[in-house]
Amino acid sequence: MQHKFARRRAGATFVRLSLVCGIAGWALASSDAMAQAPAVEEDMGQIVVTGTRPIAESEAAALEIQKNWDSLVTVAASDSVGRLPDQNIAQAASRLPGISVERDQGQARYINLRGAPKTWTTLSFDGINVVSPEGRDARFDSIPSAIAGKIIVSKAVTPDMPGETVAGNVNVITRSAFDYDGFHLAGKGGLGFAELGDKREYEGALVVSDRFQTGIGEIGVLLSGSYYERNMVTDNFENDYEQVSQDRRPGYQSRFWAHEAENKLYRLTRKNWSVSGRVDWKPDADNSISLRSVYTIFTDDEARDNYRFDLDDRQGDLVANTAACPTTVNTTPTTSGYADVCIGNTPQQGAVYGIDIRQRSTLRAFRQSIFTNTLAGDHEFADGWKLSWVGNYTESKDDRSVVGEATWDSPSTRTLRPTVAYDFSDPNLSRLTLYRTLQLASPTRYTAGAQVTAIDDFTKPLSGFTVLDAVDTTKAYTGRVVLARELEHATLKAGFQYDRRTKTADEQQITLNAAQAATIMPTDYNQFSTDQAFLGKIPMGYTFRYFDTDKMRAASAAARAAYAFTPNTGNNYRVREEVFAGFLMGTVNYDWGSAVGGVRVEHIRNHGFATGVTAEASQTLAFPSLHINYNIDDRKKLRLSFNSGAARADYDQMRPNVVISDLGEGSISGGNPAVKPERAYGVDAYFEWYVKPQGYLMVGAFYKHVEDVLYRQSRVFNSHAPDGDGFDRSTYIFTGIANGGSGRIYGMEAAAQFQLEPWTESLGLPSFLGGFGISANVTLNNSRVEKPGVDGIPARKVRLPGTSDFVYNIGGYYEKYGLSLRLQYQNRSKWLDTIADTLADAGDTYWDSDDELDFSARYAVTKNFEIYFDASNLLNHPGRRFSDPGSLLTATGIPSKSTTGQTIEWERFGRRYTGGIRVTF
């Protein structure tokens, strides 16, 4: 977005961030200078911030940008991006008001703006929307915070922003050589460790820039690079619940049994690289041309030992019976014990006899990259005419390849399988105790024998081996031209933008059965594993052996040499999207403030292709908006806005093919080329007070009406079209994107930001107390949308996925005498993850409340040299996902008992500590 700052009576005022910046935007100062208050002076119509106190000055600069913006934004400027242990853009932005994150393996990945779904947030580099490697779900963990000079988060959409921006846009402003007075060099190097598994972390960054006066104008050149490596392990357990068709004893309607219990034991190495370059040419005061390239890479090398206990392996042993029965414990049942209340088993505690261990040893090599290249120009002409133009090419890749996955399964003989005593009564622990399985005199009766500690004492023959090559590539082209005219009290803009995005999914696989797999690797797991001790801390109730990653790579190489890949045609597709957009907008300046209004019109064409199938669709949408910025005085503003947008389904959700699985009860998943975008119309009312001499208060309310809500629907397929190979697939469950009904989300947010320095003298406080500062923000939400009835489940009201009832951040800092300390806490309440259409999977799923406490310390030894220490995830609270069938039971007329909160996923990641040095010249 190109922004024109609000006019003052004496003329336009521009903000220039003249911080002595480091790689993540830090500013260093000498110890003596740190004692001074931040200096902000006016010079020839510019506000110049001189580098004396990094946190205070960055906050002041960010607030100045925010105050003068023509719509509702929040800004993380310069040093604020690097003042906490924020290695990616999601974590850095999460400190701002109204922003929460969704995490993966403890790392912030997706951004929710003001509680809205993550699909409503778009990502931009220098104002150009960038397609994430995953698609429309913009992943921010693949973007290092080191590339950002500042982050501008727009919460109210203007006509010059793409219509797919519903909740808002996160605009990463890359650094330019013109941000500095002349030659600039900054570097960073550090190392650390994660306490869980005692794993190492490494980070480094470098930026070099200079400005050159030439005969054709001034040229600025900037080069930067960054590297971050995080080695870690994860504590994990997962339970998948279901209603059991054979369980018909009284109370069965609200009973949900864990049909599978598992541990996923991760060994991870995650890395972020970034390389960026920028050349700016200013031939004169009225013209500038910029060439920018950013290349970011995120890799996730994952070794996962997965032990799955198939508790419902012999579900058919149980015969449906509606009569009540005694529930005393019986350790010699005629059934396997699964879902059998008549032997004393309950969904929380019990025993299952002779079950299958389904073990998976998986080595993945995920790689996501974004390569974006922009050529842009800004030109001013006589009579107030301005022209800006942009051309961009971006290529995003999502490599989901699996180096190798070996499978090991228990034999069919029940006495070679374990008996498992389970206890799921603690939501933070899945207790599994393993025993030998003994057959009694009756051939259908089994009991538990001696306890077994080492799971590898059970026979688990090699059953298969898989190699997957899967790469999704998205190529995007953007061209934009904007013509503006400056009038005495107004600015008029007209623009045209063309976007073409093509996503191609290419999957191929080698799948080997047990006999084939035996030709490339050992069939005895003990010969495929190591003696390394368990690296986590969760009490699992059994010991195991990690698989050997070198032997996995050797097996993969052997499989590639001996066998051919086969395309996964059900997952291969190409989707192309073209957007023709035009907008008209005007900014009118008054003595009391400004008004910005206009409309954007987009014509969208979609074309999908899969093997033997094509689909096309088109639509024209209009997005009006109006923003009023009322200056109560020179420090207080009232902002009112109306805006609209449309979130389109992701590219893979619009593909014209399906994937069929005949395993178990069978399933079908696929795309829906005819799905409509979900429309949103919102209003905002905000009051901002930029307290003099330093401080900030904000309170605001927002409301959005939503139509044609997008959600993943599951229903019976009810068609014989995909039948074949002897399978009747009409009863399979189909899962795909669908439109729901209408709804709304509304809420309020408030923020405060203060530093004690300006008031120490008037309050009679010692000068050293002036180093204290505080920032806090809170967002409250309420969302409800209509979910249509499916397969006998009536229509009902649900939350919007990804919305928390509240989100808040609170932090304090101390900055004086060269010392900088900062402590930050953030918390969000539970949020809806998936919406259920049937009771098959125990209802809707939620992520439990999430919080994190981080600490950072810096000390400026000299104005050029700084040492730092960061501590992350100090509370080490787990991530927990749970199922809640309550609303479905109520919708079907079944009284909802105490079934809420059945844990289906639990992970803990440990604390992390990093230290190092920063230099600036």
pLDDT of 37 reads: 32
Q: What are the DSSP calls for 56-92, one per residue?
A: HHHHHHHHHHHHH-SS-EEEEETHHHHSS---BHHHH
What pLDDT does 16 receive? Answer: 29
Q: Enter the tokens of residue 400.
A: 């989901």
Phi and psi at residue 554, to the nearest 5°: -65, -40
10-residue averages of pLDDT along the chain (921 residues): 34 29 31 32 33 68 86 75 63 82 82 84 87 81 79 89 88 89 92 92 93 94 93 94 91 89 94 93 95 93 96 92 93 93 95 96 95 96 94 95 97 95 94 95 87 95 97 96 94 96 94 96 95 92 95 97 93 92 95 95 90 84 95 94 89 78 75 84 95 89 90 77 81 81 91 89 89 92 86 80 89 90 92 80 86 91 92 93 81 60 91 93 88
Distance from C-alpha of 773 to C-alpha of 813, rounded to nearest angstrom: 5
Res 900: pLDDT: 54
Distance set, CA 372 to CA 162, 250, 396, 478 (Å): 18, 61, 8, 11
What are the start-end ranges of the H helices in 423-563? 514-517, 549-562
Closest CA to 190 of 24, 76, 20, 369: 24
Pair type for strands 217-242 and 902-908: antiparallel
Instruction: Tell me how far apart the alpha carbons of residues 434 and 422 are, in angstroms, rounded to a whole number.
Output: 9
**What pLDDT does 799 receive?**
86
Please give the pLDDT value at position 761: 85
Do 305 and 261 contact (CB within 8 A), yes or no? Answer: no
pLDDT attached to residue 376? 96
The residue written with tokens 């994860």 in the block is: 234
